[in-house]
Structure 1
């Protein structure tokens, strides 16, 4: 039995709870907390995330008495503990004794104390003190009966440009390249006369007068992710050395650019996500769905952990909108529908002071009589009803490529034909029409296996290594359908332009050569005509493209590129490739993507269901669980589910169709034939 299977068995299915910070409160509050936790159905809390100063108030002086009490109290009340190493919040005495642990910003100025994550991940002193407090916690609590999981640090993310980072960067570069000759070649240092002749000459990429060597900057992003990962692995290995049968993980963040989660996920027992969709954004649930699909995919379809979300408003934006009644429930069920095996919040009790004093909580300032607490209690009851779903998985015929190397290559440098790409916006542009049509989608990185999929979507894969490019070729050659957008395959892993003309790695695949990239002027539009007679407009970008083996699905109808292909189709091996050489208007793009997916033999069982009703399926050998979530506050909907079953949320029989009220939800259990 895996560690996560043991954890699910311990909590009876799904973990339900949130961050708990008892050190902020007097002891008499603790008794009320556990009473209300039991009332709300809480079975798991994350404990001690920011408690370093409370656990070690002075160097080498430890105060574990309060932690002993709260661990005992939680265990007595049937609440499991996800115990954190508190290393995301170094105490002031550490930064006062050793100011060199502060991260140095890109402009050369140090961070000051008073935030969090004010540490340089490369600092040997920080790592030494972090290992010491981690060891003390593991020694004391590894076999406490409340302990169910380790939560290593919190939201790893600091980037430092200081001396420790520079030394560690050089060590990282030596491992990557071996010799200075290889580094100079990869970085193309003969351009602008930047050749290095000694390793000590290599420094972190401080802000330059104008522009920065793009591969140096790219490698620094890779290094920073790896340096943070080293911190996680060091603490993980410490707690594992005391006890090896419970899960260990840290919490990732939504669309976080500074850590390559494809490299991190194999080091964890489950991927864990902190996510705060903005209620002010009417489509925030769509980008949330993509992030949930990403986290399900990081470990090959294994269920993941929703570690933090908000019960209502947050406090980090200029305008912090509340979640209207029903939205918190819907968002939580959405995560579960996409293979989350927990519903956790930041935090249990709202803080009276500090930066997040107005951040919502499971137990808000208005107390247990509040709307929020009532909704939390109702959700806790429903999550318990969904216990049979825990541990089940999803499957998909469609994969979309999302990779941090590609992201960094596209956005972390200047000097591209245009330097205002948004990788996440591009990915969402490709994902949204699939979401609206109820297609299940997995997410793949450059190193992910592609077998088993029928359709692969490749958005703006500007930087892609040779092995990943070969996998895309093989996928198409073996009968898969590839949908690719412009500015893909241009540079290799060293950010060097591939020879033999654009699009480099994918010229043979798309069946066309690109002479030049033509970014559009502001507000410039182009007419496009499809071979089937449809007309559309395009903007932002054009490829000056010359067909080789490919044929035009659409051509420009005006301008200097009139008659040239705007959308290309190419037969490649047993497969098919469709390449978008321009930014089509959204409706035309969506329609084309949907047609290509259907022609690849992929159809949704929920075809015809309104887009505002999200339809997903989890399952095991015995049952499938159909999740139906109505994101509309105005319109109801009737949805066929493909069989008779039982709505786990109500216990009512479902004869084959579910009627949803506005903001309604159903989870239908259907026995497999």
Structure 2
């Protein structure tokens, strides 16, 4: 079972509850700060993220610094028991900087330099920008690193985007020279002999461009890797400027949901705690199950980056103003969605934003304090309810998540899958496929880690690898050892196609997974949206699957070598050929799903597989569709979050009578609990109750 982790901050060793706060926008009205402090305490908020976009307020002119207003804010916080994540303001630079140092502004892929405006419109390579951030960050650290209100550093905000300026072109070439050593090695890795694109001088290489080179897949892949590495390097530059002034202060930067542009695993070694910003679009359907799955996947992804509790740095108390439809959270949803984050490992619930801005692009974005300016609103009541709940749940903070199931998800695989041409350029639906497999496991209430191919496989019983198109030889070897040592592996169609340079594996697909899976994949059929095939389980198959399951979009034609056939195709010229196989290797088994299958296949399949492996669930009871159970544990007690995303009230049969409802204090002597619409229960039991 999982053990208790150290608190995110020793200064505030409890659940953190708060918001992004922008007092720099209210310097003209000192009464706002005093009223905000009153309201923060009323809502049981104990932490704010301050200074995120405050560069112009901190340095209105080059070299002229104004810290008095921030002194006042932090001092007033300290006097009232409120803490702060102090941000570096690099997410948006002031106008004077862009005017004096135009090199700080990004150049687009079209090679046109941006005008001043927006945010994250800056070049991470620019020496001028690095110098200015170093000066600012150092001054902040010298002044506030030991301030009693400061619990940690919030580095920048939602890093993203790329720059194609001459400085970045030179940096990209240097990155490539370091990686490949010689042009000969680069040309071979990029397969530039195709279309006569062979490079004869490093200076000929540029970043991908819509009016230039953009069809060499390894080139595109390396550019995305370079952008990630350059962004991480800039983050480290910022963090290094503040870390040594007080090494005890944790450092984070906030990520975005399943963000495609940056490989967040590259950041993980340089973070003390992972934080991310969650803005799901609830209430799109009669039930919120699909949105809950999407959000849970992200929570599990960010928890897995460091394998310990993370921070929900931003969420909305009600609606956003930037989604296609700005729908209000229905009664109960704010508590449910906040505790969903806690259930999956968050030790904070924080919001954007505390007080609504009067103007500009986010003036109508949801906030704890509305333009009305008081506590007598529905949203403020919802936030206060979350604050009350977190106080009741304090013993859960720091507890861990013991996952025996892992889902393999690599950013460069995602990039490569989506850049490849064929077999379905209309949409190969990589993310949707990943979520289909995740959803089936989520429905069975097992803890899931979302891992990368370089992570430790040995602590898992089951690893699921959907569409592992980019599979390095080393990854294949490690997965082979995992299975041989007794693990169970599930791999799908369109796996083992290319190596790390996006070069096709020779000798038969799935390349380095061929021995492990015991199959050879000859062709893959891209199906029209109107096409349909099916899987027919073999009589007496290992998992006891029965009936038929519809297949669509992709169907791979495979030959068994050492694998056993568990199911075959129903239709077309490949009817009767293997569609589902299992291979025994050493002490373990490796399954291959050769086609994309519709529900209820994944639920049935993983239900049988989890049962065969004896993997524990948060609740062993059968739960209604849309009701999820997730558990955290310190090894002595388990804390089971039972969450209702079904859109209707539900009655839940518990698997053990000895539970305590932590939100009400009720001792549950029976085995049935009621869950209202958007209801959530947090149930405590002794860990031995699971045995």
TM-score in terms of structure 1 length = 0.96
Report the counterpart of residue 641 of structure 2 in structure 1.
627
User: How far apart in 2 are the matches of 1:555 and 1:175?
Assistant: 48
User: How far apart in 2 are the matches of 1:643 and 1:471?
Assistant: 43
Helix, strand or coil at the partner of 2:349 = strand
Matched, 1:54 2:53: no
Matched, 1:529 2:544: no
Q: How far 1:643 moved relative to its partner?
A: 5.1
User: How far apart in 2 are the matches of 1:210 and 1:195?
Assistant: 12
Alignment of 1:292-331 (within 5 A): 292-300=299-307, 302-331=308-337
User: How far apart in 2 are the matches of 1:425 and 1:125?
Assistant: 42
Report the counterpart of residue 679 of structure 2 in structure 1.
664
Matched, 1:221 2:236: no
Which structure has more RCO (C-alpha within 8 Å, separation ≥ 6)? 2
Q: How far 1:109 moved relative to its partner?
A: 2.7
Q: Deviations over 1:339-372 (max 9, x none)?
A: 1010100011111111111110111224311000
User: How far apart in 1 are the matches of 2:449 and 2:532?
Assistant: 33
User: How far apart in 2 are the matches of 1:669 and 1:8?
Assistant: 25
Question: Which of these residues, 338, 341, 351, is aligned with residue 347 of structure 2?
Answer: 341
When residues 590 and 671 of structure 1 are mapped into structure 2, their CA distance, relative to the original with a 3 A threshold, is closer
User: How far apart in 2 are the matches of 1:96 and 1:276?
Assistant: 34
Name the stretch that deviates more: 106-115 or 377-386.
Answer: 106-115
Helix, strand or coil at the partner of 2:239 = helix
Kept after mapping to 2: 8 A contact 1:438/1:611: no
Alignment of 1:199-210 (within 5 A): 199-208=202-211
Kept after mapping to 2: 8 A contact 1:255/1:424: no
Report the counterpart of residue 148 of structure 1 in structure 2.
151
Q: Deviations over 1:222-265 (max 9, x none)?
A: 00011111111111111112110110110011110111111211
Name the stretch that deviates more: 76-85 or 510-519.
Answer: 510-519
Alignment of 1:534-553 (within 5 A): 534-553=547-566
Report the counterpart of residue 16 of structure 1 in structure 2.
17
Q: How far 1:603 moved relative to its partner?
A: 4.7
Kept after mapping to 2: 8 A contact 1:645/1:656: no
Name the stretch that deviates more: 535-544 or 243-252.
Answer: 535-544
Helix, strand or coil at the partner of 1:529 = strand
Q: How far 1:273 moved relative to its partner?
A: 0.8
Q: How far 1:656 moved relative to its partner?
A: 5.6
When residues 160 and 358 of structure 1 are mapped into structure 2, their CA distance, relative to the original with a 3 A threshold, is same
Question: Which of these residues, 396, 401, 407, is aligned with residue 408 of structure 2?
Answer: 401
Kept after mapping to 1: 8 A contact 2:621/2:654: no
Kept after mapping to 2: 8 A contact 1:180/1:199: yes
Q: Deviations over 1:403-431 (max 9, x none)?
A: 111111111x2423233223221110110
Q: Deviations over 1:307-353 (max 9, x none)?
A: 00001110112211111111011000000011101010001111111
Q: Deviations over 1:506-556 (max 9, x none)?
A: 122221112222111231111332114522221111112122111221112
Report the counterpart of residue 170 of structure 2 in structure 1.
167
Question: Which of these residues, 626, 631, 645, is aligned with residue 612 of structure 1?
Answer: 626
Structure 2 unmatched ranges of 5 or more: 540-545
Report the counterpart of residue 6 of structure 2 in structure 1.
5
Structure 1 unmatched ranges of 5 or more: none
Kept after mapping to 2: 8 A contact 1:654/1:668: no
Report the counterpart of residue 96 of structure 1 in structure 2.
99
Q: Deviations over 1:45-66 (max 9, x none)?
A: 0000000011011111111111
Name the stretch that deviates more: 36-45 or 498-507.
Answer: 498-507
Q: Deviations over 1:7-48 (max 9, x none)?
A: 444224111001000011121111000000011111100000
Kept after mapping to 2: 8 A contact 1:253/1:274: yes
Question: Which of these residues, 394, 414, 429, is aligned with residue 387 of structure 1?
Answer: 394
Report the counterpart of residue 472 of structure 2 in structure 1.
465
Name the stretch that deviates more: 258-267 or 14-23.
Answer: 258-267
When residues 180 and 47 of structure 1 are mapped into structure 2, their CA distance, relative to the original with a 3 A threshold, is same
Alignment of 1:12-51 (within 5 A): 12-25=13-26, 26-51=29-54
Report the counterpart of residue 543 of structure 2 in structure 1.
none
Kept after mapping to 2: 8 A contact 1:510/1:577: yes
User: How far apart in 1 are the matches of 2:616 and 2:637?
Assistant: 21
Alignment of 1:579-658 (within 5 A): 579-604=592-617, 605-640=619-654, 642=656, 644-655=658-669, 657=671, 658=673
User: How far apart in 2 are the matches of 1:641 and 1:56?
Assistant: 60
When residues 165 and 137 of structure 1 are mapped into structure 2, their CA distance, relative to the original with a 3 A threshold, is same
Report the counterpart of residue 139 of structure 1 in structure 2.
142
User: How far apart in 2 are the matches of 1:318 and 1:544?
Assistant: 40
Q: How far 1:601 moved relative to its partner?
A: 2.5
Question: Which of these residues, 573, 591, 599, is aligned with residue 586 of structure 2?
Answer: 573
User: How far apart in 2 are the matches of 1:198 and 1:584?
Assistant: 48
Q: Deviations over 1:53-101 (max 9, x none)?
A: 1101111111111111111111111101100000010111111112221
User: How far apart in 1 are the matches of 2:238 and 2:458?
Assistant: 35
Name the stretch that deviates more: 482-491 or 567-576.
Answer: 567-576
Question: Which of these residues, 423, 426, 430, is aligned with residue 417 of structure 1?
Answer: 423
User: How far apart in 2 are the matches of 1:312 and 1:559?
Assistant: 50
Kept after mapping to 2: 8 A contact 1:12/1:387: no
User: How far apart in 1 are the matches of 2:623 and 2:421?
Assistant: 45
Matched, 1:455 2:462: yes
User: How far apart in 1 are the matches of 2:179 and 2:623?
Assistant: 50
Report the counterpart of residue 513 of structure 1 in structure 2.
520
Matched, 1:501 2:508: yes
When residues 275 and 452 of structure 1 are mapped into structure 2, their CA distance, relative to the original with a 3 A threshold, is same
Question: Which of these residues, 191, 195, 203, is aligned with residue 198 of structure 2?
Answer: 195
User: How far apart in 2 are the matches of 1:395 and 1:123?
Assistant: 43
User: How far apart in 2 are the matches of 1:263 and 1:336?
Assistant: 25
Kept after mapping to 1: 8 A contact 2:401/2:632: yes
Report the counterpart of residue 296 of structure 2 in structure 1.
289
Q: Deviations over 1:250-288 (max 9, x none)?
A: 001111011111121121011111110112433211111
User: How far apart in 2 are the matches of 1:277 and 1:141?
Assistant: 34
Name the stretch that deviates more: 346-355 or 173-182.
Answer: 173-182
Kept after mapping to 2: 8 A contact 1:121/1:158: no
Helix, strand or coil at the partner of 1:137 = helix
Kept after mapping to 1: 8 A contact 2:7/2:398: no
Kept after mapping to 2: 8 A contact 1:613/1:637: no
